[in-house]
Structure 1
Amino acid sequence: MKNLKQIVIMGAITLGMGNSYASDLTYLNSSKETILTEATMEKSRPANNLVKIALLLDTSNSMDGLINQAKAQLWDIVNKFTHAKCGNDGRPQLQIALYQYGNDNLSSREGYIQQVLGFSSDLDEISEKLFSLSTDGGEEYCGQVIQTSLNQLDWGKNPDNLKMIFIAGNEPFNQGKINYKDAVANAKEKDVMINTIFCGAYEQGINTDWKNGAQLTGGEYMAIDHNRKVVHINTPYDDVIIKLNTKLNRTYISYDALGAAKIQQQSAQDDNAMEMEEAVAVKRAVSKSSRLYSNSSWDLVDASKEKDFDIAKIKKEQLPMELQGKSKAEIATYVEDKKRERIDIQKEIQELNSKREAYIAEQQKDNEKGELENAMFTAIKKQAAKKNYRWE
């Protein structure tokens, strides 16, 4: 009887432990499910990693200086963004769109406005479009060009993205059939900041509504001397960086129908930068050594970094002539060799650029900095801070 009683007691304890274990297991599974769900949700949340900048440039007769500044200082803006971080130490991608307005060569029915380039992260293409701009007299309708860019561009709905319009010109801000107040109100609804750059005296810009146009969205108003020549400081590192840029170009392996044209475009934009000034070519080379210069659509080295890349899917006729007779294994080895070579060159350019920037900081006076670059980056840093962007 005693033994029977012990068996019953032990059975009850075992059953209780079993129920407790089952309960714990259910809880653990439930917790694991919750954790997995939260992790999945975290992954599905839009990344705080995209900066969209639309440049609206007046290309009327008096704006040659503005266009030249934009051409010269594009690479300064890009290079500053290579050091940006956002959210949980993520690195933002940069997209730039380009409009011109106020040019007689443009359609009067369209308000003398043209989208030169939609949002793009292709730095060679952005450079090419900037260098394609020329000036001619016309009517400058600020409200209309702002509204056109809001309508035509894909601004997206991610509240974490940094979205900005920079409009530059020198005529009154209130001209044209679209009231600028309505246009900037629409920008505010899309979470797009309007930053205005008046090319002329600060007070004159205030009196012609440029400041008000910016303030209505919480943006920045700036006035610049657009005809002032950008002062570039030459450094002992420039020649070496330019030579490294030539070596860098040799690491690109074009493929597909797009490849040959893009290789030529790359070279042409190097030439455009050099024709402006050697220092501009150096800044472009620095941009090309950064993460923001990516060409996976036509370069096998950049394409090989993509998760879904498979060298076996590239057809023989899509390859450059020197690779068409090689096996897949030989091509893969060739790509890896070029990748390592590129990493080494880019690292060397970045190291030299750090020394170059230190040299410039010692030599440069505040009044020698680029007007357009300073105006834009002051606004960018201020507005980016509100979205948890920061610079190292």
Structure 2
Amino acid sequence: MKKSKQFWALLFAPLFTITIYGCETRNNKSVQPPIIAQAVMAEHDPMPASNVVKIALLLDTSNSMDGLINQAKAQLWDVVNKFTHAKCGNAERPKLEIALYQYGNDNLSSKEGYIQQVLNFSNDLDEISEKLFSLTTNGGEEYCGEVIATSLKQLDWGKNPDNLKMIFIAGNEPFDQGKLNYTDAVANAKEKDIIVNTIFCGNYEQGINTDWKNGAILTGGEYIAIDHNRQVVHIETPYDDIIIQLNSKLNNTYISYGFLGQSRMKAQAEQDANAMELAEGVAVKRAVSKSSRLYSNSTWDLVDASEEAEFDVAKIEQEQLPEELKGKSSKEIESYIQEKKSERSSIQKEIQALNIKREAYIAKNQQATQKGELENAMLKAIQKQAARKNYTWE
């Protein structure tokens, strides 16, 4: 095993390139059930939804992958922030769901091929972050074909042919290890219209010689070799501290309800702390994500829940309300929700405005050597493919 730091940002670059294939030109609307009270997490919607991007991340968590996991934690928010500004050909904003698998870890069951589903498809950004931070590394056997096949079998990829479905698998051992032939696994993925992208953590030619490139091209995916000596550089800006302060104010606009309320609000704070522990720049990116449309918590927050068409505050049981709203009339509760909604909107707009200035500052002060050599190439590919598929980024 090679011990190395991983430049995770490059993993997600082809994601944006391929995303453009998921745009559809018609509207498919699904009817949501009334939001009365939330006792458990909502199940995956069985109805086909328009403009849904489904991404399964398959991460090698053997001893050599500590840097990879750390970069995954940091770069999650770059992915979210990129998709925040995405528009499909019909001008609809795509939804984003992420699933997470780990493989190649001795702590996992040998009977399962040292593979574990860490998270089913989820649009809960706090939950995704939480699961990434739960990952630890240990030596093991890396079976790429088997983990791909497992994700195809276990996950609900849906039947909407317009939806974009992608697998990103990262590791540094030969791609053909294990009893299950990887060519069979990727052929199955292609049949299901799922694109497999491979990220080899090592020398570009070595990745080709160990079948990582072939694993990608068989489904029309992207192959990338990561320069394992590079790290993501977070450039400090004059706007960082202000955005972090606004993030604290943003948290105060959430109104927890139901059995999930208190635990999910606690998880929100924990993921803020995890991001800050990694780097202040990561905390800033997470705050920007929280100011976006993709950070929605209708399963436990009354402000987000009130945005649903079938929301009815009168049908929420008193015991599911937070202490500050118990005993209040429906009119009083609605007024309180509107107050917090207005406050949240104002804070989110302020964060977004500051982030525009922040990004301009970074663009001006970032040196070419602070980017991976493949990063510029991927950005050019994004623009080229986006123009071809009428996909825009705003």
TM-score under structure 2 length normalisation: 0.85
* Aligned equivalent of 1:50, options 49, 52, 57: 52
Q: How many residues align?
A: 352
Q: Could you say which residue in structure 1 is the equivalent of 2:293? A: 291
Q: Could you say which residue in structure 1 is the equivalent of 2:83? A: 81
Q: CA deviation at 1:158?
A: 1.2
For the residues of structure 1 that align with 2:162 and 2:348, how far apart are their CA atoms? 30
For the residues of structure 2 that align with 1:383 and 1:389, how far apart are their CA atoms? 8
* Aligned equivalent of 1:191, options 187, 190, 193: 193
Q: CA deviation at 1:326?
A: 1.6
For the residues of structure 1 that align with 2:145 and 2:383, how far apart are their CA atoms? 25
Does the Cα contact within 8 Å between 1:69 and 1:372 map onto a contact in 2? no
* Aligned equivalent of 2:230, options 228, 231, 236: 228
Q: In structure 1, what residue type is equivalent to 2:210?
A: T
The structure in which a higher percent of residues are helix is: 1
CA RMSD of aligned residues (A): 2.1
For the residues of structure 2 that align with 1:171 and 1:90, how far apart are their CA atoms? 40
Q: CA deviation at 1:306?
A: 0.3
Q: Could you say which residue in structure 1 is the equivalent of 2:325? A: 323
For the residues of structure 2 that align with 1:131 and 1:371, how far apart are their CA atoms? 28
Q: In structure 2, what residue type is equivalent to 1:242?
A: I
Does the Cα contact within 8 Å between 2:27 and 2:50 map onto a contact in 1? no
Establish whether residue 279 from structure 1 lines up as the match of residue 281 from structure 2. Answer: yes
Which moves more between the two structures, 190-199 or 318-327?
A: 318-327
Give secondary structure in 2 for the equivalent of 1:236: coil
Q: In structure 2, what residue type is equivalent to 1:145?
A: V
* Aligned equivalent of 2:129, options 102, 114, 127: 127
For the residues of structure 2 that align with 1:383 and 1:152, how far apart are their CA atoms? 31
Q: CA deviation at 1:371?
A: 8.7
Q: CA deviation at 1:159?
A: 1.4
Give secondary structure in 1 for the equivalent of 2:141: coil
For the residues of structure 1 that align with 2:338 and 2:169, how far apart are their CA atoms? 43
For the residues of structure 1 that align with 2:234 and 2:263, how far apart are their CA atoms? 31
For the residues of structure 2 that align with 1:375 and 1:337, how far apart are their CA atoms? 46
Q: 1:320 to 1:379 in 2, by over 3 A?
A: farther
Q: In structure 2, what residue type is equivalent to 1:50?
A: V
Q: 1:382 to 1:142 in 2, by over 3 A?
A: farther
Q: CA deviation at 1:226?
A: 3.8
Q: CA deviation at 1:156?
A: 1.0
Question: 1:205-249 deviations in whole A, cap 9, x for unaligned?
Answer: 000000000000010000113453321001000000000000000
1:16-27 equivalences in 2 (<5 Å) = none
For the residues of structure 1 that align with 2:205 and 2:28, how far apart are their CA atoms? 49
Q: CA deviation at 1:368?
A: 1.8
Q: Could you say which residue in structure 2 is the equivalent of 1:4? A: none
For the residues of structure 1 that align with 2:49 and 2:372, how far apart are their CA atoms? 32
Question: 1:361-390 deviations in whole A, cap 9, x for unaligned?
Answer: 111123323799889878877777776533
Question: Which consecutive residues of structure 2, in runs of 5 or more, have no partner in the other structure?
Answer: 1-25, 31-47
1:1-392 equivalences in 2 (<5 Å) = 48-226=50-228, 228-369=230-371, 388-392=390-394
Question: Which consecutive residues of structure 1, in runs of 5 or more, have no partner in the other structure?
Answer: 1-40
For the residues of structure 2 that align with 1:261 and 1:254, how far apart are their CA atoms? 9
Q: 1:283 to 1:111 in 2, by over 3 A?
A: same
Does the Cα contact within 8 Å between 1:162 and 1:387 map onto a contact in 2? no
Q: In structure 2, what residue type is equivalent to 1:179?
A: N
Sequence identity (%): 77
For the residues of structure 2 that align with 1:253 and 1:375, how far apart are their CA atoms? 44
For the residues of structure 2 that align with 1:374 and 1:300, how far apart are their CA atoms? 42
For the residues of structure 1 that align with 2:269 and 2:159, how far apart are their CA atoms? 36
Give secondary structure in 2 for the equivalent of 1:256: coil
Q: 1:313 to 1:373 in 2, by over 3 A?
A: farther
Q: In structure 2, what residue type is equivalent to 1:62?
A: S
Which moves more between the two structures, 76-85 or 357-366?
A: 357-366
For the residues of structure 1 that align with 2:236 and 2:221, how far apart are their CA atoms? 34
For the residues of structure 2 that align with 1:123 and 1:371, how far apart are their CA atoms? 29
Q: In structure 2, what residue type is equivalent to 1:363?
A: N
Give secondary structure in 1 for the equivalent of 2:120: strand
Question: 1:131-168 deviations in whole A, cap 9, x for unaligned?
Answer: 00010000000000000000001111211111110000
Does the Cα contact within 8 Å between 2:28 and 2:50 map onto a contact in 1? no
Q: 1:385 to 1:165 in 2, by over 3 A?
A: farther
Does the Cα contact within 8 Å between 1:48 and 1:86 map onto a contact in 2? no
For the residues of structure 2 that align with 1:59 and 1:311, how far apart are their CA atoms? 45
Does the Cα contact within 8 Å between 2:29 and 2:50 map onto a contact in 1? no
Give secondary structure in 2 for the equivalent of 1:157: coil
Q: 1:364 to 1:98 in 2, by over 3 A?
A: same
